Amino acid sequence: MDDELRDEILSIFEAVLDAQLRAVRRLRRESRQASATGPKSKSQVDMAYEVLQRADSPLHVSELIERIGRAFGVEVNRESLVSALTKKVARKDRFTRSEKNTFALLPRG
């Protein structure tokens, strides 16, 4: 086998092995991240929904954020939560607004 062909074959093997190594490292990184975060986390809206179900009454956004923090151990951005819940209220999707910055669940039915 001449040197040029041998070099070309070795280059191909090197490229394949490099791609495999990158894939293995990516899978390891993703695996570590998944185990660090645990199971798929809930969205802010889903956490607010669960808190309001437990409360069984309307809650001001400040109280809602505090209870989400206690129940789920996460810090929720106030503006982000209000924005998301306001969009749900506008679509009549699970939530209603009983007063300014106070949210409740829509009655089932």
What is the pTM assigned to this prediction? 0.62
The answer to whether 72 and 42 have CB atoms below 8 angstroms apart is: yes
Exposure string of 39-70, with b = 16+ CB inside 10 Å and e = fewer, is eeeeebbebbbebbeeeeebbebeebbebbee
CA 102 to mean position of chain CA atoms: 24
pLDDT in tens, 11-30: 999 999 999 999 988 888 87
Question: What is the overall mean pLDDT for the chain?
Answer: 89
In angstroms, the CA 94 to CA 98 distance is 13
Per-domain boundaries in the chain = 1-38, 44-105
